[in-house]
């Protein structure tokens, strides 16, 4: 008896391969790049949101305004300057009290510097406990100086520090507290 043959004979079509078998060479790199791109976009959105929230914070805008209006800062940095991306930023809010610490690089035409600020908010207004500009040359300009100098003398807002940015050493060590006295805890 003759052998069974298909109607097409020896020219029968080969079964078709699956989608992955046909397209893996381009689908694998595109999928990996898509996942990496998604992670990058998510990180960029998070950083942008954080940066915009810091720039919209009243403490940041108040500190930049104080620095821009101070004639000593304008003289040291060479006129108008551009604030950069805040670094070393810490903001906390506990029981209606806010605390912010940040450093903002300042880019001026004559010199660069850093604006250092520490502020607390209890209610509506921010109160700065630290606000100064550290110029690259070692000059420190205190923006909280009230200018209570004797009559006829300009207020001294320039405090020299060594090039590493460390303030001068105090001549006497600070007084030590006795146990049980002078507690920092408010009840």
Confidence band, pLDDT 50/70/90 cuts, at residue 5? low
pLDDT in tens, 136-167: 878 888 988 766 544 434 444 444 444 444 44
Mean pLDDT of 43-49: 84
pLDDT in tens, 106-117: 998 888 999 999
Let me know: does 99 contact 120? Beta carbons within 8 Å.
yes
Nearest Cα residue to 119 out of 93, 147, 138, 157 = 93
Q: Is 53 exposed, middle or buried (0-12, 13-18, 19+ CB in 10 A)?
A: exposed
The DSSP-derived string for 1-32 is -PPP--TTGGGPPPPPPPHHHHHHHHHHHHHH
Directed axis angle between helix 58-69 and helix 19-56, to 10°?
60
- Mean residue pLDDT of the chain comes to 76
Confidence band, pLDDT 50/70/90 cuts, at residue 55? low
> How is the chain split into domains, by residue range?
57-160
pLDDT of 4 reads 63
pLDDT in tens, 70-117: 998 888 888 888 888 887 788 888 887 888 899 999 998 888 999 999
Q: Which two tokens stand for residue 174?
A: 């600070």
Question: What pTM did the predictor assign?
Answer: 0.57
H-helix or E-strand spanning residue 47? helix 19-56
Confidence band, pLDDT 50/70/90 cuts, at residue 33? very high
Residue 176 has pLDDT above 80, yes or no: no
Domain 57-160 -> CATH class: alpha beta
Q: Which two tokens stand for residue 29?
A: 């790199």
pLDDT of 35 reads 95
pLDDT in tens, 121-141: 887 788 899 999 999 878 888
Q: Which two tokens stand for residue 150?
A: 């004797």
Confidence band, pLDDT 50/70/90 cuts, at residue 182? very low
């Amino acid at each position: 008896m003759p052998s069974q043959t298909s109607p097409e004979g020896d020219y029968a079509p080969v079964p078709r391969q699956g989608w992955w078998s046909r397209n893996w060479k381009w689908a694998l790199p595109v999928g990996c790049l898509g996942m990496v791109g998604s992670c990058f976009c998510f990180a960029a959105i998070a950083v942008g949101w954080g940066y915009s929230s810091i720039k919209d914070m009243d403490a940041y805008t108040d500190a930049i305004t104080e620095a821009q209006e101070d004639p000593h800062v304008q003289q040291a940095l060479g006129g108008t300057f551009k604030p950069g991306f805040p670094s070393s930023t810490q903001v906390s809010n506990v029981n209606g009290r806010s605390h912010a610490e940040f450093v903002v690089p300042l880019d001026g035409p004559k010199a660069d510097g850093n604006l250092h600020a520490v502020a607390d908010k209890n209610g509506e207004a921010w109160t700065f406990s630290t606000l100064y500009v550290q110029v690259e040359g070692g000059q420190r300009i205190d923006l909280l100086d009230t200018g209570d100098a004797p009559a006829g003398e300009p207020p001294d807002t320039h405090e020299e520090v060594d090039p590493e940015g460390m303030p001068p050493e105090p001549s006497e060590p600070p007084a030590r507290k006795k146990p049980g006295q002078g507690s920092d805890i408010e009840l």
